[in-house]
Amino acid sequence: MASRREADRLIVEGRVLVNGRIIRELGSQIDASKDRVKVDGHDIKKEGRLVYLVLNKPAGYLVTLKDPFHRPTIKDLLPPSGERIFPVGRLDFESEGLLLLTNDGELTFRLSHPGFEVKKSYLVKVKGEPDAKGLERLRRGLFVGGRRTAPARVILLAHNPKRSLLRIEIHEGRKHEVRLMCLAIGHDVLSLKRIALAGLTLGKLKPGEWRSLGAAEVRKLKRLVNLV
């Protein structure tokens, strides 16, 4: 972006065209949504606004904006926008819950980087009843895919011989990590729901609903990863 002084110089030199006409008057007003601006023959695109959304993703939707097999995607749930936004992290097809989407590339990178240890919490329903030894393995870390997982916070919320409900908090973002962790202690995952990410929660959002983040929430996210 040019400074005000540089922009004035370009105008004085006759290098700026608005809708095909050279402008020479300093302080000329344009409508960024309608007017076509060129400098030295090159189109000048307006800067896009930064967008921050939280979506309560239902099960049965792909976390992508386009699918060659025409399966349901999160794009079907999002509002129309002139900005292209992307998910921070992933939830697999069967999983549900909180998904953060933005076009803020630096924030996305930092929230996704394991070095910042951004916390993610899940409600996980598993088949059977994990014993104390299995739960302790989850808490200490266990080998999945040839690598040891970081220690996790695990709370057994409800249990019976047929199924149990766990709350699992991790800060890594490996593919299918929570499902593989539970499978490693002998329990298939029946359902998985992300309920918190980087201090954000679903609140009153119903499955399929979304909301924009407020300015204070965005600042909090940026502070969390040392962006402010």
Which of 43-52, 129-138, 188-197, 210-219 shows the lowest per-residue confidence on average (mean pLDDT)?
43-52
Give CA torsion, residues 204, 207, 212, 217, to 10 deg: 50
The full DSSP string for 121-180 is EEEEEEES---HHHHHHHHH--EETTEEPPP-EEEEEEE-SSEEEEEEEE----TTHHHH
What CATH number has the domain spanning 49-116+203-228? 3.30.70.580
Say what the pLDDT of residue 35 is.
63
> How many angstroms separate the CA atoms of 25 and 7, rounded?
12
Say what the pLDDT of residue 71 is.
94
Residue with tokens 């386009």: 66
What CATH number has the domain spanning 119-197? 3.30.70.1560
Say what the pLDDT of residue 10 is.
61
Confidence band of 84 (pLDDT split at 50, 70, 90): confident
Instruction: Give the model confidence (pLDDT) of 116-149 as tens digits.
Output: 999 999 999 999 999 999 999 999 999 998 999 9
Average pLDDT of every residue of the chain: 88
> Pick from 145, 150, 151: which is nearest to 184 by CA?
145
Q: Is the pLDDT of residue 46 over 70?
A: no
CA pseudo-torsion sign 119, 173, 74, 45? positive
Helices (H), the chain: 4-12, 105-112, 132-140, 177-184, 215-224
> How many angstroms separate the CA atoms of 162 and 190, rounded?
11
Domain extents in the chain: 4-43, 49-116+203-228, 119-197
Contact 170, 150 (CB under 8 A): yes
> How many angstroms separate the CA atoms of 136 and 102, rounded?
36
Q: Which residues contact 9 (CB under 8 A, 6 or more apart)?
A: none
> How many angstroms separate the CA atoms of 200 and 66, rounded?
26
- Of the residues 35, 67, 76, 92, only one is catalytic, namely 92
Parallel, antiparallel, or unpaired for β 52-57 and 96-102? antiparallel
**Does this chain's domain 49-116+203-228 share its CATH topology with 119-197?**
yes
State how far the alpha carbon of 119 is from the alpha carbons of 64, 69, 127, 204, in Å: 22, 33, 25, 21
Confidence band of 42 (pLDDT split at 50, 70, 90): low
- The CATH architecture annotation of domain 4-43 reads Roll (3.10)
Instruction: Give the model confidence (pLDDT) of 144-192 as tens digits.
Output: 989 999 999 999 999 999 999 999 999 998 889 999 999 999 999 999 9
Say what the pLDDT of residue 9 is.
61
Does the annotation mark 92 as catalytic? yes
